[in-house]
Structure 1
């Protein structure tokens, strides 16, 4: 299968349903990040186009529970529903994933009413593609990053939870800039004000960090357990 020998930052199987512009962008970016991307696309020609780019592509209708079952959705933790051409198909597909018990379902919404219905049936993250590009969502599904802004030169600023190896140590002790090539701009704890990071800043389990640097180096840090 494509990409199975590559170095993987995020060693996990994910499911993407719908390979239109949004879904394709999310799928290809997650593949680049190292996820094993399994996709479902009802358009056979479109499915064939991506069959050599992703781990597996099935040309079935995910709105039909029997056809969705071919992908074994219960085996996945994360799914992204990129269907936008049919609200009915989107809702049926999302409902099938909720029934399968996936703990992290992301779904594209094309209107406020569509978003409301997706939330009512149990979708965990509703995305408006005008605000959230597919490639940006690819960086957020791992649950470590809570915000991601990338600039044209490959530089990024992210909001993220700290890796285990930083917890309980000061930034000087972790030497994060030398080890990972990124800079911790500041930290924030629940109920407290944002504080700019200093060498003596100690990273706690409850902290959210604002980190800046080359996007590829930030991705490596976010992949740490």
Structure 2
């Protein structure tokens, strides 16, 4: 889908998380309506988003007057004010938005958001905390968890498999991880095949269960 045809999105709550979501969507070509109760925050986004307004998002009539009912996707990025978060989701549900994303601070908050009508609940602080924890040991260079103990990670090629083709090192059979690709300095990303030879200094993209990836990175 080309940038000019991307669906407009309403983002409510322009704190660090909401601002990052809104600004990224704008750069991707979406029209973004940003809503916040703080006038200084709204002014800071006037020249960044398609439109930024100061408004009480917990009031259904206020959101209707802003045209929120015309949006297909809404992001409720209010985290600390739980009541406002829930009432805003409820207002968007009342307006009939078919795709509502909401930020949650805790598991309980998330469960209530789902019961209130949010279609997707995200835990940015929790996910970032988990990601940082996996990176702290310095074996993993990057890490993305899918929430079911499965992940994709970028790591330095473990010494025992350097100099060998993947068919010989048998990463999947011996370590229960799949080498998806290889990146070496100054060269394009290589999609891994059985004959791919791992060189010193190579970085690997691997997939598998989190515990298996961590063990593989430490061999």
Query: 1:24 aligned to 19, 26, 48, which one?
Result: 19
Aligned mates of 1:9, 1:127 — CA distance in 2: 27
Query: Which residue in 1 is equivalent to 2:56?
Result: 61
Which 4+ residue blocks in structure 1 deviate beyond 2 angstroms? Answer: 147-151, 181-185
Query: 1:121 aligned to 106, 116, 120, which one?
Result: 116
The TM-score, its normalising length taken from structure 1, stands at 0.56
SS at match of 2:125: coil
Query: Which residue in 2 is equivalent to 1:37?
Result: 32
Query: Which residue in 1 is equivalent to 2:79?
Result: 84
> Cα deviation per residue 1:176-195 (whole Å; 9 max; x = unaligned)?
xxxxx99888xxxxxxxxxx
- 1:214-225, aligned counterparts within 5 Å? none
By relative contact order (CA 8 Å, sep 6+), the higher-ranking structure is 1
After superposition, the Cα gap between the structure-2 partners of 1:81 and 1:184, relative to the gap in structure 1 and judged at 3 Å, is: farther
The TM-score, its normalising length taken from structure 2, stands at 0.57
Aligned mates of 1:77, 1:149 — CA distance in 2: 31
Q: Which has the larger radius of gyration?
A: 2
After superposition, the Cα gap between the structure-2 partners of 1:101 and 1:182, relative to the gap in structure 1 and judged at 3 Å, is: farther
Query: Which residue in 1 is equivalent to 2:131?
Result: none
Counterpart check, 1:13 vs 2:27: no
Gaps of 5+ in 1: 1-6, 134-146, 152-180, 186-195, 197-225
SS at match of 1:34: coil
State the Cα distance separating 1:70 from its structure 2 match.
2.4
User: RMSD of the TM alignment (CA)?
Assistant: 3.2
Aligned residues: 143
- 1:132-211, aligned counterparts within 5 Å? none
SS at match of 2:78: coil
